[in-house]
Each structure stands twice: as C-alpha cells, then as structure tokens.
Structure 1
Amino acid sequence: MSKIWLIATREYLTRVRKKSFIIMSLIGPLLTVALFAVPVLIAKMSDGGKVVAVADAGGLFTEKLPEATADLRFIRVSPDLATAKDEFKKAKHDALLYVPKVDIANPVGFQVFSRKGLGLSLERDIQRAANKAIENQRLQKAGIDRAVLDNLKANVDLQTVSLSDDGERSSSTGISTGVAYFFGFLIYIFIFLYGVQIMRGVMEEKTNRIVEVVISSVKPFELMMGKVLGIAGVGFTQLALWVLLSVGITSAASAFVSPDKALASQTARVSAAAPDAATTAIARADTPDDAAAKQTNFTAKFMQEVSNADLNVPLLLGCFLFYFLGGYLFYGALFGAIGSAVDSETDTQQFMMPVTMPLVLTFVVSQAILTTNPNGSVAFWMSIFPLTSPIAMMMRLPFGGVPTWQLLLSMALLIAGFIGTIWLAGRIYRVGILMYGKKVTYGELSKWLFYKG
C-alpha cells in the first residue's frame, strides 16, 4: 500500500501543479455557463426584429394584422402579388406572406417568399399566425366569440405528491429531471475526461520507456492502482473547486442585482399605471429595473419549485459521490488496460468503442426512458448492471421510489464489478506495459489474461 500511495501522490501532485489544471479549474464554471447561455443569446440575437410583409389578396387580415411580438412584426403591402414582390425586393423585409382567396374550410394556396432560407422558427411563426386567422373566421362563421373560447381554456396548477411507506412527499417532475441530468452529465463527463488521462499517462510512460525503470521497483498492478487513485484525487479536487467557484460566482452575480430596489420600482409602476399597461410593462421588461424584477421573480419561482420538490439531498449527494468514484474506478481500470495494450493513440479506437458504448447508450436511453419511466424494468436493469449503473441510478434517484434493496444491490454489484475489472485490467496491464511494436487484437488480449507469473 505504501508504494500505491507513493505513486498516487506523485500522479496527483504532478497534475494539480500544471498550469492547464489551474486555468481549467478557474474558468471551468464560466465555460459551463457559457455553454448553455451563448446558444440562447445567439438564438435571441438572430431571431430578433424580423419583419414579414403581408400581401392579403384574400382579405384574411382585413380587420387587423397578427399581433407583433418582441421578435416578429407584420406589415401590410399591396395585395397584388407582382407588386408585392417588387416591393419586397426593394425593402429589407425577412419574408413575404401571400394570402390568396381561399375557402376557410380548405385553406390552400398560401405562399411565403424569402431571399434566403426562412428558418424553422420564422416559418412556424408565420404558419401559426395564418392558422389563427383561419380559426378566427371559422369561429365567427359559427357564431362563437374568440374571447369566450379563450376564457373557457384552463391552466390547472397541478401539484404532484409521491406516496411511499415513509408517507407523502411533494415532488416536481421538472426539477427531478433537471437534477437527474445534472448528476448524470457530471459523472459522464468526468469518467471520459479522467479515464482518458489514465490511458494517455500509461501510453506516455510506455512510449518513453520510463516504465521499464519504474517496473523494477513496483509491481504492474501497484503502478496501475496508483495511477487510477491519483487521477481520481485530481478529479475530486477539480470538482470541489468548480462547486466552490460556482457558488462564489452566483453570490457575486446576485450582489449586482438588488431585488428590493427592482421590486420597489416595479411595484411603483404597477400602482401608477393601468392594469393592462402594467402587465405589458412587466412582460416586456424594457428597462433594467424591469429585467431585474423579472429575473428576481423567475429566481424566486425556481427556488420555490426546488423547495416544493422535497428532494432527499443527503441521499442524492452521498450516492453521487459513491457512483462518481465507483464509476470512475470501474472505467479507469479499463482505460488503463487499453493504454497499456497499444503503442499509439490511433490504435486505441478499436478498444475504446466497447468500453465507452455503455456510457453513451445510458445517456441516450435516459432521454427516452429513464427520465420518463424511472421505475420501469429497463431503468431497473440499467441501474443494476455495473457498466451502466453509475449514470442510470443517478437518473432514477431524484424521482424517488427506488427501493433500498435495489440501491444496495446496485452498489454491491458496482463494487464487485470494480474488483473484477481491476483483476482483468491488471492481467492485461502486466503484459501490455512491456509489449512494444506488436499489433494487439482481442484474441491476443484474451491470451494475456491467462499468462502465468
């Protein structure tokens, strides 16, 4: 154990002292935020301020054009198609909607012209506006008031409650799904990130012939375990730093927004204005105070939903640490065995696919099955099988209802799988670490498992 600890300490200190580790630990939370925020900002920038010209030859929009939104507005042009096309070419509108004389029972013949591709979002908005106009005419012909029909629609405030042997517990499907994806994604990323580091570290020592010197003092199994445990410590350190920095960034960002000031300003405007105007002002949030109030309301609502979800936080955190470490050790041994069996990174592709496929499959299946039916048979077997349980079980736990025996069985099988994987990887590692210049196949690997010595 002293040799394993010495190797693990060396692997840990070597990596945490690198500039790349320090830089990534500092900017990691910012990059994570940018990963989700930038696409949203780009989408808003690209979709904002679009103008659609309407050539209403059929009189569909005689009374009024479709209501303008923050991203889209409609303007009226000549109902003659040829004239409308000429105007469209001269102007800088994004699209031209031609409305023919149609039968509202069978509305066909609508055309949309654009200089380039419309884009799915713009096409959907135009189609929605035309559909609503047809619906209004059908309602008017049937003698039904649109306002009355809208008032008949209901938006039920549905509260979900989980019934278990421990009693009733409030739940939130949306929050549970978000927490499940968060934990599953972290395990998925860290297994890949640090598993590949183990593989590359073994390959580097093998290529530079450093291992020939090291192997004279320690056993191959001790060397592999030291690498796996040392890099595991690096992963935990970086995860802890990211959590602390994320909390710090969140606290610092909230300090720039004064909820009391924003809410006071918003309340003053609501009191001074008519109800409709106030509602419009809040919805549009044209001023910084409006935006701050809207963000504050959103944050308060989100925190309320998290509170109502009544998640078992200690259980989730404890299981996350267990499956985070167990999944990493399980796959880290396999990555180390791959690194010892090949001479270059290009040769790893044939062995990487069988190892990484269960992880990828679990993450893909989680979107269709695990989060929609977390207590079904597929979710059960995937959360028990060691190759898929680190992600699958963390996808199930936030929804509750996982029996204790299933959780204990999953943990026991993951530990047994890790021990078995370490044994298999050690058998491959002890031969492959000193094997040079030979193209390794699966048949050759199977022979290494039974070599004596």
Structure 2
Amino acid sequence: MNVWNIALFEFKRYFKWKQEIISIVLMFAGICFSMVWPHLKAALDKDYQVAVMGDFAPPKLSGFQFSVVSPSTKAEVLKNIGETWHAVIEIEGKGEQERLQLTVKEKASWQAKLKTSLQNWQQERQIASLPLTDLQRKQITELPDIKTVMLKPEKDDKNEKGRTLVSGALLFLLTIGIFSGFGYLFTGITSEKQNRVTEQLLTLITPAQWIEGKILGISLFCFKTMFSYGLLFFLFIQGVAVISDKPEVSLPIGAFELLTTILFVILGMLLVNSFMAAFAATIDDPNHSSRSIMMFLPAIPVGLAYSGIDNAEGMMMQVLSIFPLTSFAAMPLRMAHTDVPMWQWFLSVTLLVACLWWFKSAATRVFTMGIRMYGKEPSWKQLAETFFFPVKHH
C-alpha cells in the first residue's frame, strides 16, 4: 500500500490538468501551423521571372515563370536583370558545341534549384537530338527493371512505408519517455536530498518502498506522456491523409506485435527509471556533480536500435533484441520489420523480466546508500560493490 501511495503521489506531483491542456493546445496549434505553412509559403512566395532567348520550349518549374523573348531584345533584357527579370537563359553554339548559359545579377539561394532543373532539361534535349531508336532512348533515360521473386510472400499488412513510420514513431516516443523520467527523477530526488526531507520519510517508509513508489509513479507519468504524444501523432497522420484525399492510415502491425510493443515499452521504462532513480540518489549537488552525464546512458539503447533498423534480419539486430538492456527498444522494431522466431521472443521477454527484477534489487541497494549521504558522493568503487554484490546496510 505504501508503494502505491508513493506512486500516486509522484504521478500527481507532475501531472497537472491545466498544464496538460495547455500542452495539448500548443501541440495542436503546432500541427495546424505545420500543415498550413507550406500552402501559405507557396501563396506568399513570388515567382521568379526568367527570360528565355531562342525559339525553344522553356522548362516547367514551380516558383519560376518562364517567358520567351526575342534575341533582338537581349541588351534591354540584360539591362533590366534584378528589376523586371531575375535570370536570362540562352543557348550558345549548335550541335555538339551547344551550351546553356544562365545570366543573373548576383548569387542567390534560388539559383541552385533553377540550375538543377536546367541541367536535367538540357540533358533531355541533348538525348532527344541524338540519332537513336525509341528503344535506345528508353534504355538511356529509364532505369532497368529488376524482377524480384520471393519464395515467402510478404504479408499484405506490412508495407515498407508503414513499417518505417511505426519505427520512427516508436523511437520518438521512447526518447520522450526516457527524458521525461530523467528530468523528473533527477530534479525530484536531488531536491529531496538538498531539502533534508530524507530523515522524515525514512521514519515512515523503507528505502525499498520509497524507490519502488518513485519508479512506478514516474513510469506512469512517462506512459501518460508517451500515450498523449502517440495519439496526437496518429491523429496528425490521419489528418494529413484526409487533406490529401488518401486512404486512412492504419497500423501495419498485428495485434500480437502491438501487445509485444506495449509489453516491452512498459518493462523497458521500468528498467530505465530504476537505473535513473538509483543513480540520482548518489548525486549530492546536481549543479556541480560530474556524474549527471551518466543519467543519459539509458538513451544509448534507443540509438543502437535505430542503427540496426536498416537490417532487421541481421545478427546485430538479433543480439540487440535479445540482450535485456537493449531489447525493450530493439525487439518491437525488429518485429515491425520481420518475423521473429517464438523461442527468441520468449528468451527476450524472460531475460528482460529477470534483468528488471535484479536491476530493481540492485537499484534499491544503491538508492539506500546514496539517499542517506550528505556532503559527499559515494566512490565508483562503492557504487560497483553495492550494485553488483548484495550487502547488508546498517
């Protein structure tokens, strides 16, 4: 009961309805702005006026207005560059000596887009002028087709775009959850030490109840934050699909993969917050301690999992999805991209649960030692001995 009371206290300590509503409103405002901005920018951006000298069809490029002018007006057009015209295109030479010339007043960022388009346009004109058959011209301009035969057909509900979207969203939410727990655990525990409330609390509860309640309460808050952001992200994707007249977006994973993702995220966040709660208790002064950087270590598994997405079937991703300190991030990503043998799934879950149980016990020992120390921090040797070897504290 004490653990649950502490958990509810820690959750309510940081969960404020007013702040939550303001955050949601600001996120919706940001989403709406990001959707409207491209259209507003397109409406406000002026078209660059480009004069084309010669008897040839100018290219088409968004943001640029091409106008064919007579070569006899070249002197007048060049005189008005920077005012009436932004650029002038003309072709010098003939046949193999033909060359495209672009005249501008001064260097500007929009010229890179124009140059790339003109290069492709001129290349197409040069290929079209060569004495080639239709088949030869097609072979030059089009990439060859490669026939792919899969002995095991890919599941219909696992499209590549959807899997990439799910992977990116999961990594984003995990990062939010980890840094939410980092911020609240770090500030909460270090402030309690500095305000000397430890003695009063330890007369009412045990260190084990204290850290378990903190881990559970902050983890609940992290899950709430991840769920809120995840729901807004999903609604944003659905809104984009509706505006673009595209089919509604659905999760490209099955029920088992979804439940697995939820299970691994819950276990992973409990594991991460156990580490951060224990380590925060060993920091005496957060403004001067060099150990604060160690609180960022839980972000490493997310980075490792991200590095292996491009080869979900590879050995590295298999190891990461089974190793308990990285499996909470790697296994959901791997299952979203490929089939995972059930024995590997069971092994991964078993190791993660066992690691969480051991980690909680070790974190409790470190928390018990660190929360009672004032004016100094435990040495690295003391940390290692307390973390890896059960000892009795008097």
Fold shared, TM-score > 0.5 on shorter chain: yes
For residues 159-192 of structure 1, the C-alpha deviation after alignment (integer angstroms, 9 at most, x for no partner) is: 997838xx96553111121122222321222122
Distance (Å, rounded) in 2 between the aligned partners of 1:444 and 1:45: 64
- Asked if 1 retains the 8 angstrom alpha-carbon contact of 2:305 and 2:317, the reply is no
Rounded to whole Å, the distance in 2 between the matches of 1:319 and 1:32 is: 31
Relative distance call for 1:78 and 1:10 in structure 2 (3 A) is same
1:327 to partner: Cα distance: 1.3
Structure 2 counterpart of 1:198, from 185, 188, 203: 185
CA contact (8 A) 2:92 2:99 kept: no
Structure 1 equivalent of residue 175 of structure 2: 188
- 1:376 corresponds in structure 2 to 314
- Unpaired runs of 5+ residues, structure 1, are 260-291
Tell me, yes or no, if the aligned pair for 1:330 and 1:418 is still in contact at 8 Å: yes
Secondary structure class of the residue paired with 1:88: coil
The partner residue of 1:33 within 13, 16, 31 is 31
TM-score between both structures, scaled by the size of structure 2: 0.80
**Count of aligned pairs:** 388
Structure 1 CA distance for aligned equivalents of residues 354 and 97 of structure 2: 66
When normalised by structure 1's length, the TM-score is 0.71
Whole-Å Cα distance in 2 between the matches of residues 409 and 114 of structure 1? 67
* Map 1:38-437 → 2, pairs under 5 A: 44=42, 48-51=45-48, 53-54=50-51, 56=53, 62-67=55-60, 69-76=61-68, 85-91=78-84, 93=86, 96=87, 99=90, 101=92, 110-111=101-102, 113=104, 115-119=106-110, 123-143=112-132, 149=138, 163=152, 171-241=158-228, 295-296=244-245, 299-300=246-247, 303=249, 306=250, 311-312=253-254, 314-346=255-287, 347=289, 348-363=291-306, 365=307, 369-370=308-309, 372-437=310-375
**What is the CA-CA distance between 1:44 and the residue it aligns to?**
4.9
Alpha carbons of structure 1 residues 17 and 403: separation in structure 2 relative to 1, 3 Å: same
Structure 2 CA distance for partners of 1:44 and 1:373, relative to 1, 3 Å: farther
Verify the 8 A CA contact 1:190 1:328 in the aligned structure 2. yes
Q: CA deviation at 1:75?
A: 3.4
> The residue matched to 1:90 in structure 2 has which SS?
coil
3-state DSSP class of the match of 1:193? Answer: helix
Report deviation, 1:401: 1.3
3-state secondary structure, aligned to 1:401: coil
Shift of residue 336 of structure 1? Answer: 0.9
Identical amino acids, percent of aligned pairs: 21
Alpha carbons of structure 1 residues 73 and 402: separation in structure 2 relative to 1, 3 Å: farther
How many angstroms apart in 2 are the aligned matches of 1:10 and 1:160? 58
- Could you tell me which runs of 5 or more consecutive residues in structure 2 were left unpaired when the two chains were aligned: none
Output the amino acid matched with 1:446.
A
Structure 1: how far apart are the matches of 2:311 and 2:142?
A: 29
CA shift at 1:392, angstroms?
A: 1.6
Secondary structure at 2:375 match in 1: coil
1:55/1:84 contact within 8 Å kept: no
CA distance in 2, matches of 1:434, 1:344: 14
Q: Does 1:10 align with 2:9?
A: yes
Displacement of 1:426 after TM fit?
1.8
| Segment drifting more, 314-323 vs 412-421 | 412-421
Q: Secondary structure at the match of 1:63?
A: coil
SS in 1 for 2:348: helix
Partner-residue secondary structure (3-state), 2:325: coil
Amino acid at match of 1:71: G
Offset of 1:418 from its aligned partner?
A: 1.6
Give the deviation of 1:225 after TM superposition: 0.9
